[in-house]
Structure 1
Amino acid sequence: MKVLIIPNYSRPDALEDARRLDEWLDEQGVEAKWAHDKKLFPNQVTDGSGCDLVVSLGGDGTLLRAASIVGYAGTPILGVSYGHLGFLTSGGPEDLTLLVADALAGELHVSHRASLDIESEFVRPDGSTYTVHSFALNDFAVSRGGRGDMVEFDVSVSGNKIDRLRGDGFVVSTATGSTGYALAAGGPIVTPEFAGMVCVPIAPHKIMARAFLTSPSDVVEIDMSPERPVERRFFADGQAIGTDDASWANCARISRGPGDIILLDRGPQSFYSSVARVFYGGGRDQ
């Protein structure tokens, strides 16, 4: 078997435990690989191909990086929390080897999480265009630029126009991402079993603009208004999309990805336990 280790390289405790995990895996006769890092491991793997398990040691941001490395390959991901919330992770560092042992033995619950496939178009100053394809586990977002001007755009779902909106932006999230940016913008908390998309306007200039859900087969279309040519940006899981800083985000098409992300946890109740802990005061009796 082969395990890909993805630690948060900026956390000494996660890095030290990753080394300890590497030694433990070697004792078990399991091959370990480390994910790419510009400074510490510049020549290590940048994808999860050929691996049977991916172990993320960090917070939710590290797990999102693990998801981007795995993509649509279907390799199971085990998240160990070293962050502040650890909403997507399965346990803490005190459970590290026990969790990995259970994962390798196939004794953890498998949670299938819908992903996003994003096609973004950008316009260069000379009028030419280019397209970028992106993966996301959490969300796609269109946001106003550094000048702070509100953005204007049309929102459609599978060819059906919803409205032209003005505001700070728009979030299209998976059920997994519903507890992230989408929730902060006023969207609902959605169970991981929901396979559609959650669409949430960000500070809209229409009081009636509300969040809505799509079906799994829908395509959400965002078209920036040519009548308001202000700076705007596209993001996938918080990472800026686009390779040319001089270009303008023009439109995006967001659909369910061709493959799910597989997260390992202790059971279906893990999601609701996390909801209670993070958003409802830990579920403590009042």
Structure 2
Amino acid sequence: MKVLLVPNYSREVAVQGAHMLEEWLGEQGCDVVWAHDKKLFPQKQVDLFGCELVISLGGDGTLLRAARIVGYSEIPLMGISYGHLGFLTSATPDEMLETIADALAGELHASRRATLEIESVYEAPDGSLHTEKSFALNDFAVSRGGAGDMIEFSVSVSGNYIDTLRGDGFIVSTATGSTGYALAAGGPIVTPEFTGMSCVPVAPHTIMARAFLTSSSDIVEITMSRERPACRHFFADGQNIAHATEATGISATVKRGPGDIILLDRSAQSFYRSVSRVFYGKANNS
């Protein structure tokens, strides 16, 4: 079996854990490869050919990076928590070898997590348009820029106009992303089995705007107002989508991705145990 390791290179303990894991996996007959350090090689692509398991070693941010590497391929993914939160990860470092042994034996629960496929349209200073396609496991977000001005945009779902809003931004999240940025903006916590999208306005300048859920087949369309050309940014899982700093995002469409993330965990109840631990401060005793 070929296994890809995705460590958080900024945390020495995570890199040390990856080296230990590489040695152990080699003893199990696995072929181990490493993802590169993206800070040193930001444009380098990871070769997934032949990989049957991807393991992140870090926090939820590292797992999201691993998810971007996996994309829509549906290669199983699991995380070992070396971060501060560990909501999405499967095990602590102390549990690492036992949990990965269970993964190699096919004894872990596979949680299918819906993804997002994002198509963003940008306008260059010369008026030309170009499109960026992006993957997200958590969310797509449009946010006001550094000048701090409110942005104005319209929201439609599958061709049905919903509203024109002013505020700090708008989030379209998966069920997985419902416990991230969307939750901080006042959205609901959504079970991973939900395959639609959660749409959450960020600090809207009205008391009428509320979060809402879509079906899995819907397409969310966000169009920036031409009458209020404030600085704004588009993000996929917290990563700025724009490749050209002078380009301006003018619209985005968001829909369910063509493949899920297969997240390995202990049981179907892992999500609720994490919710209890992280958001309600309750220790899990079972």
Shorter-chain TM band: over 0.9
Identity of aligned residues (%): 68
TM-score (norm 1): 0.97
Letter in 2 for 1:102: D
Aligned to 1:163: 163
Aligned to 1:67: 67
Aligned to 2:138: 138
Aligned to 2:116: 116
SS at match of 1:253: strand
SS at match of 2:51: coil
Q: In the comparison of the two structures, how many residue pairs are matched?
A: 285
The verdict on how the C-alpha distance between 1:162 and 1:38 changes in structure 2, with shifts beyond 3 A counting, is closer
The Cα of 1:44 is off from its aligned counterpart by: 8.4
Aligned to 1:95: 95
The Cα of 1:47 is off from its aligned counterpart by: 3.9
2:25/2:31 contact within 8 Å kept = yes
Deviation track 1:104-146 (CA, whole Å, cap 9, x = no partner) reads: 1100000000000000000011110000000000000000001
Hey, what's the Cα distance between the residues in 2 that align with 1:135 and 1:44? 17
Aligned to 1:281: 281
1:155/1:221 contact within 8 Å kept = yes
1:197/1:215 contact within 8 Å kept = yes
Letter in 2 for 1:25: L
Moved more, 238-247 or 254-263: 238-247
TM-score (norm 2): 0.97
2:38/2:44 contact within 8 Å kept = no
Hey, what's the Cα distance between the residues in 1 that align with 2:259 and 2:106? 21
Hey, what's the Cα distance between the residues in 2 that align with 1:45 and 1:117? 19
The Cα of 1:284 is off from its aligned counterpart by: 7.9
CA RMSD across the alignment: 1.7
The verdict on how the C-alpha distance between 1:42 and 1:247 changes in structure 2, with shifts beyond 3 A counting, is closer
SS at match of 2:20: helix
Hey, what's the Cα distance between the residues in 1 that align with 2:232 and 2:241? 11
- Unpaired runs of 5+ residues, structure 1, are none
Superposed, 1:257-272 pairs within 5 Å as 257-272=257-272
1:201/1:210 contact within 8 Å kept = yes
The Cα of 1:40 is off from its aligned counterpart by: 7.4
The Cα of 1:28 is off from its aligned counterpart by: 1.2
Deviation track 1:172-212 (CA, whole Å, cap 9, x = no partner) reads: 00000000000000000000000000000000001010000
The Cα of 1:281 is off from its aligned counterpart by: 1.6
Letter in 2 for 1:110: A
Moved more, 30-39 or 100-109: 30-39
The verdict on how the C-alpha distance between 1:185 and 1:18 changes in structure 2, with shifts beyond 3 A counting, is same
Does residue 25 of structure 2 align to residue 29 of structure 1?
Answer: no
The verdict on how the C-alpha distance between 1:65 and 1:38 changes in structure 2, with shifts beyond 3 A counting, is closer
Hey, what's the Cα distance between the residues in 1 that align with 2:276 and 2:32? 35
Structure 1 runs (4+) deviating above 3 angstroms are 38-45
Aligned to 2:18: 18
